[in-house]
Chain A
Amino acid sequence: MSASKTMYRSDKLLYYSLLPFAAIVIAAFIMLFAILGYVSAPALRKYGISLFTTTKWAPNEANPSKSVYGLLAPLFGTLVSSAIAVLLALPVTVSIVLVIEEYSPERLRELIGSIIEVMAGLPTIVYGLWGLEVLAPFLREHVYSPLHQLLGFIPLFSCKPITGFNLATAGVLLSIMILPYMVAVARDAYRSIPFTYKEAALTIGATRYEYAKIMMGLAKPGIIAAALLGFGRAAGETVAVALVVGNVPLVSGCLFKPAYTISSLIANQFSMAPLYPYMMSVLFTGGLVLLLIGMAANTVAVIMIARARKRLG
């Protein structure tokens, strides 16, 4: 008789009355993949790989079969803006985790924690509006123009920032938006470091800098997980980015050029898509790519976190 495997009548009743709800969760997830795949299929069949290697976005009203769609520019914009966001947010994340966990009295820790929670919960559209009206003009005036004048020989800053709506602003805004998620993940990782390691690092007479370096080494998989999850979030963010990225399908090495992201392409083009054959299908292909980016980031992050747990015992 194996007790844990046996369920009695009343247990089964509970199990089977809650089961349909769990089934709905799983069904929703499967349906998401199925629908995205199903609607994407015609575009993938028609355009094949060129969908991801060309930048031209030219719906043709008179002759729909001559419409040309390329997702390379939005894909490029999504990857680059998300990468900028993670690169900017990472040092800040590490600093905040150290300040909260090591160098703050109880009250300050709670205060910073609350502020981070407000940051995480604030509607993304509010960040978007602020990005559009405040951040973009500010960055153009006080950051991009000086950078271009002083460091214009570097390709990244080589173009004139005509407006503030470009890849760089999308990256900066996204870094602010993903920061609280990254802090939450990294903080969990930091807290899971067993006390004995902290003690050991202190007893060898490490300075605070050396101590932090040791701790960050131990929390590394968790920090990487935070970066990955942050990247996934940034890639999927839609409306805030759509307001600041400039919405021009360009692939350029200069950060001050307007750009597009997959999600902002979807947000802007979706309402027109039913009018053009294949456009809807192309947009769903973009959505499928976003989903795969998000799932990949999530899966690797989960594996990193599991590995960190195992390593630290």
Chain B
Amino acid sequence: MADPRIIKEKIFLVTIFALTILGILPVFHVLAEVIIKGSEAIAKHGLGILTSTSNGILASLVGSAILSILASLLGIPLAIAAGLFVAEFSDTKLAKITRVVSRSLLEVPTVLLGMLVYIIMVVPMGSFSLLAGAIALALVMLPYVMVHVEQAIESVPPIYREAGYSIGMTRAEVLLGVVAGIARRGIATGVLMGFAKAMGETAPLLFTIGAARTTLPCSHSIPLANVLDPGDAVPLMIFQYAQMPQKMYHDMAWAGSLILVAAFLAVFIAVRLLVKEVKT
């Protein structure tokens, strides 16, 4: 008769490995479905499904590109500066408060950030706009990028600070020229993660960009002013088309998902390469 302790151990090991497999299996299924259904949709309707505004998702693709870039332009400098502040002046009260607040922002449901921007921007301006969406997305990115910046700065060994100070550098020169320089790949990782986050978010856009799906945002003669136009985004398009009864809309949703997932995986691989380079 076998030792019951050993039997228990065997059952335990089998269970945790089974649960691990069960836990990571769904993501493969999600990816497989997206690739299969997305490419089926594109094969069935041709590339027009991506390049047309009337029978395709062009406006969503364009809108997503504008939104991710605009949100990054707004959110990343803010996040880096605030992250540097928190990491460098960590012994000050204000930095401590900022750190706690940024960690709390991380847990705020993103739909609420869309509601906030609706009240402070959409209502006063009287219209939905890509800019409003970008501001909501910038708020979503902000705490993510900040955490990465802080961790990157804090992981720089203090001997390099000492080296900077011992040749007469000021605190700003040490922080920006030495510490941030050494941490630059960590910071870049955070920036990319933030970008990916902005690209994939849906909820903050529900009440901010207006889902203008049949026209491109180009009503103004000055190109930059077009960010005040309503627009669309791939995630928002997927959310709304998925609820339509017609098959054509579902196809567009899957095609959009394929593009979205491909873009996300591209950023993910870029991050991996960055991190690998840091290690060597």
Using a CB–CB cutoff of 8 Å, the interface residues on chain A facing chain B are: 4, 10-11, 13-15, 18-19, 21-22, 24-26, 28-29, 31-32, 35-36, 39, 89, 91-96, 98-99, 103, 112, 114-119, 121-130, 132-134, 176, 179, 207-210, 212, 229, 232-233, 235-239, 242-243, 263, 266-267, 270-271, 283-284, 287, 290-291, 294-295, 297-298, 302
Contact = CB atoms under 8 A, between A and B. Distances in A.
14 contacts: A10-B170, A11-B170, A14-B171, A26-B101, A98-B16, A99-B17, A115-B24, A119-B27, A121-B200, A126-B257, A236-B112, A238-B111, A239-B203, A295-B107
Given A29-B105, A126-B261, A176-B26, A239 B19 contact: no
Interface stretch (B42-50, B51-59, B115-123, B216-224): B115-123
Contact of B268 (A13, A117, A133): A117
A14 B24 contact: no
Contact of B27 (A15, A122, A298): A122
A129 B253 contact: yes
Contacts of A19: 85, 94
A12 to B, nearest CB: 9
Interface centre among A35, A92, A103, A122 (most CB of B within 10 A): A122
B23 A179 contact: yes
B102 A125 contact: no
B193 A121 contact: yes
Q: What range describes how many residues of B lie at the interface?
A: 35 or more
Given A15-B89, A122-B264, A263 B12 contact: no
B22 interface: yes
A32 B112 CA distance: 8
The 4 closest A-B pairs by CB, nearest first: A236-B109, A123-B200, A21-B81, A95-B19
B235 interface: yes
A209 to B, nearest CB: 4
Interface in B208-264: 235, 238-239, 242-243, 250, 253-254, 257, 260-261, 264
Interface centre among A32, A179, A229 (most CB of B within 10 A): A32
B24 A35 contact: no
Given A99-B16, A112-B24, A130-B29, A302 B103 contact: yes
Interface string B161-194: 0000000001110010000000000000000010
B177 to A, nearest CB: 12
Contacts of A236: 107-112
A29 B101 contact: yes
A283 B98 CA distance: 29
A122 B101 contact: no
A125 B115 CA distance: 18
Contacts of B202: 123-125, 128, 238-239
B109 A238 contact: yes
Contacts of B201: 123-124
Contact of A95 (B16, B85, B95): B16
B154 interface: no
Given A133-B250, A267-B111, A14 B200 contact: no
B12 A291 contact: no
Given A99-B16, A208-B12, A243-B242, 6 more contacts: A22-B81, A36-B116, A92-B23, A99-B17, A128-B238, A291-B108
Contacts of A14: 88, 170-172, 175
